[in-house]
Structure formats: C-alpha cells, structure tokens
C-alpha cells in the first residue's frame, strides 16, 4: 500500500513555498498520493524523505520496457481508469505468436507479415511491435534456433514463452541484448526464472491460476528484488480475463495495491480459433487494460482496425492530433503544379491530402501550424488569417519549388484572401478553393 496524503505531508518541508506549482505542501502531498504529481517537483525534499516517498510517488502501475533500440515497447505507467480523466500513457504492444512446432514456411510467412503490415496514419507509423516465440515442441535447441531466426529477421521486441527453465535460459542468452520478456514464472519455477531475469536484467512475466495466487507470487518476487514484472492472471475465457484486467487496474489505482501494480499480458490467441472473434477480444483488451496483446497471426483486415483503435484510445484527448508544419508533395509535383494550403489539424490534412490524391493532379500541399485547429476554428481564433498565412508562405520555401505565384485555400475562408494577397505582395494570386475540403478533387480536376 502507498502512503496517504497526510503521511506524505509529514515528510515534506512544510514551507508552502509554492515552487512545486501548488499553493501548499499539503496540496502537493495530496496530489502525490493520488499519483497526480511527481516528487521531483519539490526541490526541498530531504534524501531521507525521498527514499521513504519513492514508493508513494511511483506510478501505481510500474512502467517497464521490453526490447531495445528503436522498437522498444514501453508498457505500464498508467495513472487513470478512464481516458477522459487524463491520457493513457503507454499503448499496449501487439505481439504475434510464432511457435517452434510451426512448419518453417509458416513461421517465415508470419514474420514476413509482421514486417510488412505497417500503416502510415496522421504522420505516425502504426505497426505490431512484438513477437511471442513459443516453445511448444519441448525441444530447447529448436526453441533457441527459432528465437535466433526471429531476432535476425525482425526488429521485434521478444516474448520468450516456455515451461522449461533450461529452454528459457538458452533462449535468453541468445537474445539478451534485445531485453526479452521472459514468460512465465509460476509457483514452481519462480526462483530459477527470477535468477535468470536478474542475471540478464530482463522483465519477467508471472502467471498464476487466480488473482490471489498472482498477488502472492508478485510479492515473493518483489521481495526477491525483481521490479519489472508483467502479470498474467491465467484466465483464458473472455469474461474472466476481462474481469481480471479491470480488477487489476482498479486494485492498483484505487486501492493502491502494489502487488498488482504491474502491466498485464493477455492472450486473445488462446481464447478462440475464429480470427474475427480474436480481433474483437483483442479490441476489448486494448480498451481495458492490457499492457501486451498476443495474437495468433496478423492479417491486415483485423490488424489495421486494432492499430487505429489503439491509436485513438492512447491519444491525449486534451490535445488535437497535429501534422508537422511544412511542404507535402503529393503525386510527384513540379514547378507548374498547384499549391494548396491548409492547417495542421490531422483530420483536415488527411481529408485534403486524400482529395488531392484522388484528383491525380500532382500538387504541393502547404501545412501551416495552427496548433492543431481546423480551418474555420483556426481562422476564428486568428491563427489562420491573411497576414499569418502570408508570413508562413513566404518563409516556407515553396517559391523555390514553383514558378507560378498562385495559391489555393480549400475551405470557407474567403475573408482571408484580400489580406493574404496584400501580405504576399504583387504578382500573387489567391484562389479560394471549394467550400468543402471534400470537394477538392473535383475542384482540382477542373481548375488545375
């Protein structure tokens, strides 16, 4: 259990200096107890108090990382039950299962799909990040060979699954630089796997038949010095597994139960044989509250919706999704191609750029930073008005890419054209494009 606000308050300097951003030490203590503040915000806490407060100030669900390099998967670190309270922190990792009993060709095909199924959306690359390598053959050598194959052919963060300590030891040694997740310590093998995880500084998944036993195992391993644990409640029916996810999150956040204050791993792949049902189950765990979701295979028609769902749920609801300001060429444009300008609200960008692509008229799309506001909202807020747009166009570098001096503004912002022409100066022509961004295709076909 974490400390209460009053217990934390007793350890603070009690000067009410306000440097932490709240008016009193008591308010800071209450925020710290609720996981809404960080201890580092108070520069005057003594070292002794820091040590005592570190537990209370830690996120209620421990953040940890699986993998290394660019494709490291961070999980945990969550502080709220619902995303409208505050953003969720670390999106769940998607893993594809590859067993050492699969025919070589099928294993290779799954890894190929793992590498190829990537999607660009709102300026981000959406993709699965993990491969769960499973030792079903019982052959440690076969398992190690498959782990090496996955490691050499992909950049995946690895989950090493075996019931054999010997097989896991060899596989961890072969992939320790990838910081794999070792799966799974149980009551019977926890001492050996704890030693393996400690030796190689790898996170360790723990599995039990129920939450009570899982808590006991977590306490035992925490007492042994392990910090990076991932919980598997052992449930393989949808209803029970879902209940467990909610129970674990609520216990960690509301009851401040440190035994269950770790990210979880879920296995939709073991709950059905129907691929579409599996995707539906996975989608429930994305929303509540998996740290890792293991899928039996990857198919675009089910993976893409899951990736988009994950993106939407783990996007900060208080900040609009934005594109980078800049020049976006569409369809290999040249020096006579039309130039359009719009705001950097992601949805606006994707509607306009999609329309330009559909028109098949190669074009330059200027995206202006309006702090993520859409065209009309930005115009109303004074961020997408003639002089601001003119200043951006002049410094954007577009004049080095085109010979003409015409610019098209899709959207109902006719009011900006006069100011914009004045700002840009003689020789420039401002065309107000179609009123609706969705009519850009037709506009370009006729006017470009």
> Which positions touch ligand SF4 (CB under 6 A)?
12-13, 15-20, 25, 28, 42, 44
* Closest to ligand SF4 by CB, 14 or 112: 14
* Closest to ligand SF4 by CB, 21 or 331: 21
The least CB distance from residue 48 to ligand SF4, in Å, is 15
* Closest to ligand SF4 by CB, 19 or 116: 19
The least CB distance from residue 37 to ligand SF4, in Å, is 9
The least CB distance from residue 13 to ligand SF4, in Å, is 4
> Tokens 């570190």 label which residue?
54
The least CB distance from residue 50 to ligand SF4, in Å, is 12
Query: How crowded is residue 300: how many other Cβ atoms within 10 Å of its Cβ?
Result: 12
* Closest to ligand SF4 by CB, 53 or 294: 53
d(CA 41, CA 32): 10
- 140-153 vs 165-175: helix crossing angle, rounded to 10: 30
d(CA 248, CA 250): 6
* Closest to ligand SF4 by CB, 20 or 269: 20
> N- to C-terminal Cα distance for the chain?
67
Q: How many Cα atoms sit within 13 Å of 91 on the Cβ side?
A: 21
* Closest to ligand SF4 by CB, 25 or 95: 25
* Closest to ligand SF4 by CB, 15 or 210: 15
- Single out the residue of 71, 265, 98, 269 nearest to residue 156, CA to CA: 71
d(CA 169, CA 386): 65
Are 436 and 342 in contact by the 8 Å Cβ rule? The answer is no
The least CB distance from residue 14 to ligand SF4, in Å, is 7
- Single out the residue of 268, 262, 272 nearest to residue 286, CA to CA: 268
271-277: long-range contacts, CB 8 A cutoff, minimum separation 24? 271/236, 271/237, 271/238, 271/241, 272/238, 275/299, 275/302, 276/302
The least CB distance from residue 7 to ligand SF4, in Å, is 14
- Single out the residue of 421, 304, 311, 408 nearest to residue 366, CA to CA: 408
The least CB distance from residue 265 to ligand SF4, in Å, is 37
* Closest to ligand SF4 by CB, 24 or 283: 24
The least CB distance from residue 17 to ligand SF4, in Å, is 4
């Amino acid at each position: 259990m974490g400390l209460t606000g009053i217990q934390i308050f007793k350890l603070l300097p009690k000067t009410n200096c306000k440097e932490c951003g709240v008016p009193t030490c008591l308010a800071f203590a209450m925020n710290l107890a609720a996981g809404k503040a960080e201890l580092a915000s108070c520069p005057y806490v003594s070292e002794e108090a820091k040590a005592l407060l570190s537990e209370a100030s830690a996120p209620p669900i421990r953040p940890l990382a699986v993998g290394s390099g660019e494709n490291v998967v961070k999980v945990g670190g969550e502080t709220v039950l619902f995303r409208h309270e505050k953003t969720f922190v670390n999106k769940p990792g998607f893993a594809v299962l590859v067993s050492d009993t699969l025919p070589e060709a099928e294993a290779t095909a799954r890894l190929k799909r793992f590498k190829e199924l990537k999607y660009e959306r709102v300026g981000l690359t959406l993709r699965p990040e993990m491969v769960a390598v499973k030792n079903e053959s019982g052959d440690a050598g076969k398992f190690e060979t498959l782990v090496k194959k996955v490691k050499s052919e992909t950049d995946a963060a690895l989950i090493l699954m075996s019931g054999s300590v010997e097989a896991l030891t060899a596989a961890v040694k072969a992939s320790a630089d990838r910081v794999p997740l070792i799966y799974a310590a149980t009551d019977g093998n926890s001492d050996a796997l704890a030693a393996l995880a400690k030796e190689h500084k790898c996170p360790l998944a723990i599995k039990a038949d129920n939450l009570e036993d899982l808590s006991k195992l977590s306490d035992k391993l925490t007492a042994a010095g392990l910090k990076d644990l991932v919980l598997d409640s052992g449930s393989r029916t949808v209803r029970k597994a879902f209940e467990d996810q909610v129970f674990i999150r609520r216990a960690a956040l509301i009851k401040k139960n440190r035994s269950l204050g770790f990210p979880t791993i879920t296995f939709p792949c073991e709950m059905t044989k129907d691929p579409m049902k599996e995707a539906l189950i996975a989608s429930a765990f994305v929303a509540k509250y998996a740290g890792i979701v293991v899928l039996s295979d990857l198919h675009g028609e089910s993976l893409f919706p899951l990736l988009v769902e994950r993106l939407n749920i783990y996007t900060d609801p208080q900040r609009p999704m934005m594109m980078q300001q800049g020049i976006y060429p569409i369809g290999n444009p040249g020096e006579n191609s039309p130039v359009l300008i719009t705001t950097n609200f992601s949805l606006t960008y994707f509607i306009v750029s999609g329309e330009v692509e559909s028109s098949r008229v190669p074009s330059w799309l200027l995206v202006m930073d309006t702090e993520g506001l859409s065209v009309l909202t930005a115009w109303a807020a004074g961020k997408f008005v003639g002089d601001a747009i003119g200043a951006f166009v002049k410094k954007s570098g577009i004049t080095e890419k085109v010979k003409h001096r015409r610019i098209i503004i899709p959207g109902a912002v006719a009011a900006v054209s006069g100011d914009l022409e004045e700002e840009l100066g003689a020789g420039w022509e401002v065309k107000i494009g179609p009123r609706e961004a969705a009519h850009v295709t037709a506009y370009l076909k006729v006017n470009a």
